[in-house]
Amino acid sequence: MKIAVSADSPDLNAKVGSRFGTSKYFIIVDRDTMDFEAVANPGASTYQGSGVQAVVLVISKKVDTVLTGYCSPTAIGHLTTNGIQVLAGVVGTVGKVVQMYKKGKLQRQPGVKSGLEAGVKIDKTTLIHALSNSVNQIIRLLPVLTGVVLLIGLFSSFISKELLSSVFSGNIAIDTLLGASLGSIFAGSPINSYIIGGEFLEYGISLFAVTALIISWVTVGIVQLPAEIAALGIRFALVRNAVSFALSLIIAFFTVVFFTIIGV
């Protein structure tokens, strides 16, 4: 039997992560032997879809139970549908809570409920978690917003129209492929892709290339590929990224054609 515990660091002495989707690690513990594997959570550094990535990771590890702090009703629904028990509201160190779970004491702690028991009822604890997470997200967004302002300044100062013209030839097919390639390599908040895309348009770069860049930025992740391979397997990760890259080209083409037809 395997137990997945959200954690702040990759060992049994780590504190249980306060939030399932954005915890830095998941410690996968064998209930019988206490052997464990620390797996980095690919959703810990993202702002969108972190819960989904964490759910996929946990399911791929074939665990039976999840121990965590706060877990959204949506994540609980996906996990329980796949036969995984969820105990939320858990605090302490990973090793300690696993031992408590083995002894049957964890379920009797106030505020700790399985996914099926928890449902979607909002209580005081859930509300506090939600408010705390909202504040934390605002704090986490501050560096992003600062980075956006700096990015605009740096782009205007160091990227000239002549430089972009030497890279983007004006050939729609080549420029679209280049835009998708750049979006696949770049990393960071999707907000940055909008800023860069806007600057590209100001400098006369094709809308095909800009659209492909934005789509591939969000859907293709070359930088995060090692973490995705570790979580989902090399075949799935490579196929998903390849398909997403191809779709970014196709969607870019049809999006621009659609806007042209409606006269936007």
**151 pLDDT higher than 80:** no
Q: Which residues are CB-contacts of 167 (< 8 A; sequence separation ≥ 6)?
A: 178
CA-CA distance, 68 to 155, in Å (whole number)? 42
Residue 262 pLDDT: 84
**Mean pLDDT, all residues of the chain:** 80
C-alpha angle 36-37-38 in degrees, rounded to nearest 5: 120
**C-beta separation of 116 from 80 below 8 A:** yes
pLDDT digit string (tens) for 194-252?
878 887 888 788 899 999 989 998 888 787 788 778 767 888 889 999 999 999 999 99
What does the angle CA 224 – CA 227 – CA 232 come to, to the nearest 5 degrees? 115
Per-residue pLDDT tens digits for 29-83: 998 899 999 999 887 765 555 678 888 889 989 999 999 998 888 888 889 988 9
CA torsion sign for 120, 126, 130, 131 is: positive
Closest by CA to 92, choosing from 68, 58, 66, 75, is 68
Domains in the chain, please, with CATH?
2-121 (3.30.420.130), 159-262 (no CATH)
Query: Taken in order 106, 108, 113, 115, is the CA torsion positive or negative?
Result: positive
pLDDT at 97 over 90: yes
User: What is the total residue count of the chain?
Assistant: 264
Reduced to 3 states (helix: H, G, I; strand: E, B; else coil), residue 184 is helix
